[in-house]
Amino acid sequence: DQQVKQNSPSLSVQEGRISILNCDYTNSMFDYFLWYKKYPAEGPTFLISISSIKDKNEDGRFTVFLNKSAKHLSLHIVPSQPGDSAVYFCAASANTDKLIFGTGTRLQVFP
CB closer to other proteins out of 57 and 79: 57
The residues binding other proteins (CB under 8 A) are 6, 9, 32, 34, 36, 41-46, 49, 51, 89, 91, 93-104
Of the pair 36, 109, the CB lying nearest other proteins is at 36
CB of 47 to other proteins, least distance (A): 9
Residues contacting 82, CB < 8 A, separation 6+: 15, 109, 110, 111
For the CB of residue 1, give the shortest distance to other proteins in the complex, in Å. 9
Q: State the nearest-atom distance from the C-beta of 16 to other proteins, in Å.
A: 29
3-state SS assignment for residue 82: helix
Q: Toward other proteins, which CB reaches closer, 38 or 71?
A: 38
∠ CA 32-36-41, nearest 5°, is 150
Q: DSSP 3-state assignment of 84?
A: helix
Shorter beta-carbon distance to other proteins: residue 66 or 104? 104
How far is residue 12 CA from its own chain's centroid? 15
Classify 46 as helix, strand or coil.
strand
Alpha helices in 1-111 (DSSP H): none
Least separation in angstroms between CB 50 and other proteins: 11
